[in-house]
Every structure is written in C-alpha cells, then in structure tokens.
Amino acid sequence: MNQNRKSPIDEEIEKNLGEFTLTVKTEIDKEALALFPHISNLIAFKTTLKQNGAVVGVGTGSAVLNAFNKFLGRTVRFALNASYVSSVVNSTKILDAMYIMPTIQKQKESEEDLEGRDKQAFFGEEELQIATDKQKNFLEKLINSNCDLEEKEEFMSQLKSPYLSKFQCSELIQKLMLTK
C-alpha cells in the first residue's frame, strides 16, 4: 500500500479549503414589523447571503426593547447578529446543493444503465448517484408506517430533496427498519 497516497477523507477535506466570498445584505425586516404591530419597540432585521450573485440564504432576527433589556445598542446588535446566524444556518443546504449540482449533471450526461440494472451506491471521487424511484417509494412507505408526525415531517423533507443519493436513502431505510 502506498503510504504517500492521501486518504479519501483527507482528499474530500482539502476540496473544501480556501477562501470563499459571500455577500451579506442586511435590511429592516418590514414583513416582521407588519406582522407584529402590537409589539412595541420591536427591532427586526433580514439578512440575505449571496455567493456569486445568487441568493444562498435568508435569515431574520428580532428583539424587543423594554425595561428588562434597556441597552439599545446591545439589543439592536442582538437582533442583527441573530439575523446573520439565521441566514448562515439557512444557507447550508443551498450551498451543499450548489456544490453537488455540477456532479449530478455530469453523472446524468454520462450515465448508461447497462441491461436496465441500477448502479450500486458507492463513494466515488466525483459521482453522486440519485436515489431510485423504487428506493424513494419504499422509504415513503416506511415513513408513513413507522413515524410520528414530527418525525414524518423531518423524513419527508429529506425524501423530497431532488439530491437524495442512493446511499442517503439506503441509510434512512435502514434507520427506519430498525424502528419497526
């Protein structure tokens, strides 16, 4: 075994190192203020994150100035920082999808299904294989029969992702099979 060769984990980590530019736009959250006219001294911000001109996350943050938190500057910064954090958290799925979309497109252009067989899920260097309809249908049946309402919402949101891989779907199926 060649000890100079990097592990797949190290290679994947290195792909994600470097500098990335995000544009942050912060504005007053007029929608929140309109929804809560009965709350006096409401401070509300909306923050939009963009990468290469495309919106990748939108977040909101708010606070109320009252007798308990009478420090104006700190209250405003709390609401502002909450909107930053919210936008970053909300951007994680979008940024992930933007990262894997070129790989999926590349796969679709070059994919051949020999003899009608599905390819097996695997950890390829540059490939991500989308879950089959058969996998998705089976997973949906398991979700409907094994999950309470809260779990059902969580699993269904994962199932509805257009980027659900064969491997991820298989993991979810295994998890739900154990709960039977």
Residues 115 and 90 in one domain: no
Backbone angles phi, psi at 90, to 5 degrees: -70, -20
54-81 burial, b if ≥16 CB within 10 A, otherwise e? eebbbbbbbbebeeeeeeeeebeebbbe
Task: Over range 34-41, report the average pLDDT.
Answer: 93
Q: Estimate the share of the chain in helix, then strand, then coil, as percent rounded to the nearest 5.
A: 50, 15, 30
**Residue 36, domain CATH:** 3.30.160
Task: Over range 138-165, report the average pLDDT.
Answer: 84
As for how many domains the chain has, the answer is 2
Alpha-carbon span 124 to 56, nearest angstrom = 26
Report which of residues 42 and 163 the model is more confident about.
42
pLDDT tens-digit series, residues 66-80:
877 778 888 999 999
68 part of a folded domain: yes
Alpha-carbon span 160 to 179, nearest angstrom = 21
Contact 176, 155 (CB under 8 A): yes
Model confidence at 21, in pLDDT bands (50, 70, 90)?
confident
119 part of a folded domain: yes
pLDDT tens-digit series, residues 90-118:
888 887 777 666 555 555 555 544 444 44
Among 95, 127, 149, residue at a domain's last position: 95
Contact 122, 82 (CB under 8 A): no
Q: Which domain holds residue 84?
A: 19-95
* CA dihedral (100, 55, 21, 44) positive or negative: negative
100 part of a folded domain: no
Model confidence at 2, in pLDDT bands (50, 70, 90)?
low
Alpha-carbon span 18 to 25, nearest angstrom = 23
Residue 114: what pLDDT? 44
Model confidence at 179, in pLDDT bands (50, 70, 90)?
low
Model confidence at 18, in pLDDT bands (50, 70, 90)?
confident
Residues 85 and 48 in one domain: yes
Alpha-carbon span 161 to 104, nearest angstrom = 13
Alpha-carbon span 15 to 6, nearest angstrom = 13
Residues 41 and 91 in one domain: yes
Model confidence at 120, in pLDDT bands (50, 70, 90)?
very low
Helix (H) or strand (E) holding 89: helix 72-110
